[in-house]
Amino acid sequence: MPELETDSDGVPIDMISSERMEGMASIEKVNLILDSVREGKIVILESGLSPDEESKLIEVTMSEISPDGFSGIEIESYPKQEASQGILGKILGNKPSKLTVIGPANQIQTLHKDSDLITALVSGG
């Protein structure tokens, strides 16, 4: 990804297309997201992550938290269409969530969320 000179007053936002994420292994996705978030960026994923990928993201996040530095992430996505039970339900249940917003916990705060709207407050680093 090309380096971007950022204004210290601004908050950079990476909007990552589903095509870009499609061919990546789970750990590559996790590293891509966390590298950006640790730099103070907000990451918006077009197609979100699967539950297993989200759990890996949280595990790695936990390993990187330090009292005077990184304090973790905020993550929000629209509620998934609820899966029915049975084989089809399990398949649907494993689908990645919809558009997902991830940011540094000390910079992003969810103000409002419902089935089709997420309102977030982003503060400068």
Partner 1 sequence: MGIISEIRDSISRTISRIFEDEENAKIGIYGPPNAGKTTLANRISRDWGDDAMGAESQIPHETREATRKKDITIEHDGRSVTLDIVDTPGVATKVEYEEFVDYGLDEDLARERAREATQGVTEAIHWLKEDLDGVLYVLDSTQDPYKAVNSMLNGIIQERSLPVVVVANKIDLEDASPNRIEEMFRQHETVRISGLEGNNIDNLYETIAEEFGG
The binding site for partner 1 (CB under 8 A) comprises 27, 50-52, 54-56, 58-63, 65, 67, 71-77, 79-80, 82-85, 89-90, 93-94, 97, 100, 105-106, 113-114
Q: Least distance to partner 1 from the beta carbon of 65, Å? A: 5
Please give the structure tokens belonging to residue 27. Answer: 């750990």
Separation in Å, CA 109 to CA 24, 76, 91, 114, 119: 28, 10, 32, 15, 9
Q: Least distance to partner 1 from the beta carbon of 41, Å? A: 16
Asked whether 36 and 44 are in contact (CB, 8 A), the reply is no
Indicate the residue among 38 and 56 with the shorter CB distance to partner 1: 56
Q: Least distance to partner 1 from the beta carbon of 5, Å? A: 29
Beta bridge partners of 101: 44, 76
